[in-house]
Structure 1
Amino acid sequence: MAPDSIGDAELPGAASPPTQRVVAVLELLSRHATERLSLARIVREAGLSRATAHAVLAQLTAEGWTVRDNDGCYGIGLRLLTVARRAEAAFPLRRTAVPHLRELSEQAGVPVFLAERAGNSIVVTEVVGHPSAGWIRPGRRLPLAPPVCREFVAWAPEPVQQAWLATADPAHHDRLARVLAEIRTRGYSVERLVDDSTPMLEVLAGLRDSPITAALRAQLGSVITELITIDYLPDELGPENAVVTLSAPIRDRSGAVVAAVVSCPDTRLSALALSQLGVATVSAADRITSGGSHD
């Protein structure tokens, strides 16, 4: 995976690079909320110069967003924690979902996460357990684009489905259409990979999410698509089936899919075990749907 840094240079299209540098520092510290990070580590992992990182941290610390201990290491401050707790009120879905995610993870014995729709993207917002895939972490953003995030599209109106399919690789259009119908029938999507392709896929996905040209991003997308075997159709299930993730939809009061519960076995499952995990994941998603309005 590409490192989570924005660098000290201005990013193409960045409206405010100084703001992005502040955000990079806060995001880094929040991912290590129980630790204290040295300035050298922050410089390295946030991709900033030492002078820039020091200036950002000095201002954040002066205003209480971060704290600095006697060893010169930094952590999140009480002001940031206070703002985060106030902000939770704006996201009732997460409060509703967390107990059900934990219950599913404990019963199924696999990590679980919540993915929420945000415009044309899907954002990982809650993670229970420790998924083996490095990209699964709070704040991770994925494009709502073929061939992934199918559970967000399968129940959409026909024009929306067709518009989504129109952006897919033409070679996969027919299969994706059949897969969407199968997802509606069984209630969940399955992400599977060609054997031994996971490490390569993660590297390519990291490159695609980095600041690169649109043409190169499109080329990387085509390579990634070639590594993905899109879901399972009923006649493709065998004695053992490679399952990375399994996703079931959460709906708002109008019935639109606004989020998904995603189980992460990342192993081979029998057809029966896959079906049982699917049923459990759908059940958790349905309980979350019925537990709040999720507007």
Structure 2
Amino acid sequence: MPDGSAPGRSSPPTQRVVAILDFLAKHPQDKFGLSELSRRLQLAKPTCLGIVTTLTESGYLVRDAADKTYRLGPSLIALGHLAQESLRVNPAARAELSRLSKTFETTAALAAVVDDRITLLELVGPPGSDVGVRVGQSYPFAPPVGLMFVLWDDEALRGWLGRAPTIPLRTETERLDRVIAECRTAGYLVERLTPGGQRLYALMAGMSTSMPDELRALLGELISDIGERVYLRSETEGPGSRQRHDVSVISAPVYDHHHRQAMVVSLQIGRALTDSEIAKHAKGLVATANALTTQLGGTKPQW
């Protein structure tokens, strides 16, 4: 896991540049004039003009001469692709996610822990689909959030459990031990869907490590024991059962050449599946995770 220690002091001028880019990134289909940007971001108009002019000259913004508005520019496309490549996400990885998404007609995602935050690296979904998140979005990485990023790595799991939790939790339980053993044997993790869980990641998006009371209360309602929302096949009614389970997401690990978990590939489900349907989705997901592991030159650990 990367070192999350704080760097040197921040730069207010740079923060203003970032604020403009972040604002436009949150409104990718819209264009904004200088006055509105200045007002929305509480920047002096001369300061804002200097920033957008420089960004436009560099291709990071595009200015519409007719209505004098600004939007994101083409230089960000190349920059984004380079950032993905630096995080080991290449076109071949997107092709694997596309095949997975098409097979199960749902959204496939690739994520990793970057600088102590869970970050969405790639997202591929059916045409017109919207899961409410976007590439680059990040979330706090602290118990109970992030089990799928450490479940297959003993050292990472111990480090994660040693972090200060966001809410009071039970962490040394028989249930968690069973989750670890069964998920490692199966090669995937299935997270159950609850009404509160549907709201959770929307609240967490872009949030700092410090969580507001609303999110802390929601987590408290959802989770008191790490692993309690994980589906385990051993707890179902057995072969041939028609029992259906509300599933949020199915995830599988991607490994690097050190046998360490590097990323997580996931299928967004959001509906009820039978045991056999869960197994079918998981089989396709694990095959994709194995292909991505091969792309990285990685290998699975032996427990």
Which TM-score band (shorter chain)? 0.7 to 0.9
Alignment pair present for 1:38 and 2:44: no
Map 1:97-246 → 2, pairs under 5 A? 97-129=93-125, 132-134=130-132, 136-157=133-154, 159-167=155-163, 168=165, 169-174=168-173, 175-194=175-194, 196-198=195-197, 200-202=199-201, 204-205=203-204, 209=207, 214=210, 217=212, 220-221=215-216, 223-228=218-223, 229-237=228-236, 239-246=243-250
Displacement after TM superposition at 1:26 (Å): 2.1
Distance in 1 of aligned mates of 2:79 and 2:248: 35
Describe the shift of the 1:197–1:47 C-alpha distance in structure 2 as closer, same or farther (beyond 3 A). farther
Higher helix share: 1
| Conserved? CA contact 1:42–1:53, under 8 Å | yes
Describe the shift of the 1:81–1:220 C-alpha distance in structure 2 as closer, same or farther (beyond 3 A). closer
Q: Any unmatched runs of 5+ in structure 2?
A: 1-7, 238-242
Query: What TM-score, normalized by structure 1, do the two folds share?
Result: 0.78
Distance in 1 of aligned mates of 2:86 and 2:93: 14
Displacement after TM superposition at 1:122 (Å): 2.1
Displacement after TM superposition at 1:23 (Å): 1.9
| Conserved? CA contact 2:139–2:208, under 8 Å | no
| Conserved? CA contact 2:112–2:149, under 8 Å | no
Aligned residues: CA RMSD: 3.2
Moved over 6 A (4+): none
Query: What TM-score, normalized by structure 2, do the two folds share?
Result: 0.76
Q: What is the identity, as a one-letter code, of the residue corresponding to 1:162?
A: R
Describe the shift of the 1:203–1:285 C-alpha distance in structure 2 as closer, same or farther (beyond 3 A). closer
Describe the shift of the 1:18–1:242 C-alpha distance in structure 2 as closer, same or farther (beyond 3 A). farther
Partner SS, residue 244 of structure 1: strand
Alignment pair present for 1:249 and 2:244: no
Displacement after TM superposition at 1:156 (Å): 1.2
Describe the shift of the 1:154–1:21 C-alpha distance in structure 2 as closer, same or farther (beyond 3 A). same
Q: Percent identity?
A: 30
Name which of structure 1's ranges 239-248 and 125-134 shifts more when overlaid on structure 2: 125-134
Partner SS, residue 185 of structure 1: helix
Displacement after TM superposition at 1:106 (Å): 0.2
Displacement after TM superposition at 1:252 (Å): 0.5
Distance in 1 of aligned mates of 2:282 and 2:36: 41
Distance in 2 of aligned mates of 1:254 and 1:237: 35
Name which of structure 1's ranges 182-191 and 71-80 shifts more when overlaid on structure 2: 71-80
Describe the shift of the 1:110–1:78 C-alpha distance in structure 2 as closer, same or farther (beyond 3 A). closer
Match of 1:268 in 2: 272
| Conserved? CA contact 1:147–1:225, under 8 Å | no
Match of 1:18 in 2: 13
Partner SS, residue 71 of structure 1: coil
Partner SS, residue 93 of structure 1: coil
Distance in 1 of aligned mates of 2:197 and 2:67: 40
| Conserved? CA contact 1:193–1:227, under 8 Å | no
| Conserved? CA contact 1:192–1:245, under 8 Å | yes
Q: Any unmatched runs of 5+ in structure 1?
A: 1-12
Match of 2:286 in 1: 282
Match of 2:55 in 1: 60
Displacement after TM superposition at 1:36 (Å): 4.9
| Conserved? CA contact 1:147–1:176, under 8 Å | no
